[in-house]
Amino acid sequence: MRDQFRSYCQEQLLPNVIEANRKEHFDREIVKQMGQLGVLGCTMKGHGGAGVSSVAYGLLAREIEKIDSGYRSAFSVQSSLSIGAIYMFGSDAQKERFLPKMVSGEKIGCFGLTEPKHGSDAGAMETRAIYDSDKKVYKLNGSKTWITNSPVADVLIVWAKCDDGQIRGFVIEREAAGDRLSTPKIEGKFSLRTSITGMILMDNVIVPEENLLNVQGLKGPFSCLNNARYGIAWGALGAAEACLNIARSYTLERKQFKRPLAANQLVQKKLADMMCDVAIGLQACLRVGRLKDENR
């Protein structure tokens, strides 16, 4: 799976990454292509998931971030945050309804936690979910920002405070939400320009009670984020390896004073230090992945 995904990243994503970065363009077909390769939600057992190890998932995140962090971000949000939230806290009916199409890439997901006034302090969120006992629905009001995939998402995982002050997770379907839901794109990013980022604006968005996730408090979103951060660590490793390989190639090709830059001892020292850092990072990521696979 790793080798197949590496070929896809190098042959399909790499040739277009510079243009996508310049134009701040994200093609949702990329998600479908990743679904066809079986890499979305790949640690999940059942519902279309490949059931691979945490280490295997990390190796995939490493390969895609060798191309660009924005692509890895879209991959992580779909797998760890969106699919992960439903897989960990969803009912059997929710899993059967949403996961197969998200794993295949037919449906794109996003994860709405961060708000305009509340980033790290998620417990202070202002988004509210009011329960209507007569209609057995929740009405969601509020806004989320810096949400990867939100402008193109079909399934939105949104965290909100209920009447009792408890934070709960809701699965919002764009088609059902109608014009009470909007997800404007955030333009002019300096980084992650190959992924698409936006807001989630809710004005009495109706969510049926069967779309409520079975978890209360910050345990829900933070459990998802922990899994995502694990993938981010592997991604950072992939980015570091890409930098090392590019720097090494350049210093071998670039000649000054009739010899390549790589012939200079100081350049060799810098490359050796980079290689050591990458090797240490790889061992750290492998260790965490193996501990996850042992449920430790």
Question: Of 23, 17, 30, 84, which is closest to residue 57 (Cα–Cα)?
Answer: 84
CA distance 52 to 58: 10
Cα–Cα separations (whole angstroms), residue 289 to 78, 103, 244, 283? 19, 21, 23, 10
DSSP string, 104-139: TTSS-EEEE--BTTBSS-GGG---EEEEETTTTEEE
Q: What are phi and psi of 81, to 5 degrees?
A: -90, -50
Question: What's the CATH number for 109-219?
Answer: 2.40.110.10
pLDDT string in tens for the chain (296-residue length): 999 999 999 999 999 999 999 999 999 999 999 999 999 999 999 999 999 999 999 999 999 999 999 999 999 999 999 999 999 999 999 999 999 999 999 999 999 999 999 988 999 999 999 999 999 999 999 999 999 999 999 999 999 999 999 999 999 999 999 999 999 999 999 999 999 999 999 999 999 999 999 999 999 999 999 999 999 999 999 999 999 999 999 999 999 999 999 999 999 999 999 999 999 999 999 999 999 999 98
Cα–Cα separations (whole angstroms), residue 32 to 28, 29, 104, 173, 211? 7, 5, 6, 19, 24
Structure token pair of residue 94: 């929710």
Q: Left (φ > 0), alpha (ψ -120 to 50) or beta: where does 47 sit?
A: left
Which residues lie across from 156 on neighbouring strands?
110, 172
Contacts of 218 (CB under 8 A, 6+ apart): 122, 123, 167
- Which amino acid does the sequence have at 231? G
CA distance 114 to 143: 9
- Which amino acid does the sequence have at 203? D
End-to-end Cα spacing for the chain: 25
CA distance 139 to 37: 37
CA distance 208 to 212: 8
Give the domain ranges of the chain. Answer: 109-219
pLDDT at 120: 87
Structure token pair of residue 3: 């080798």
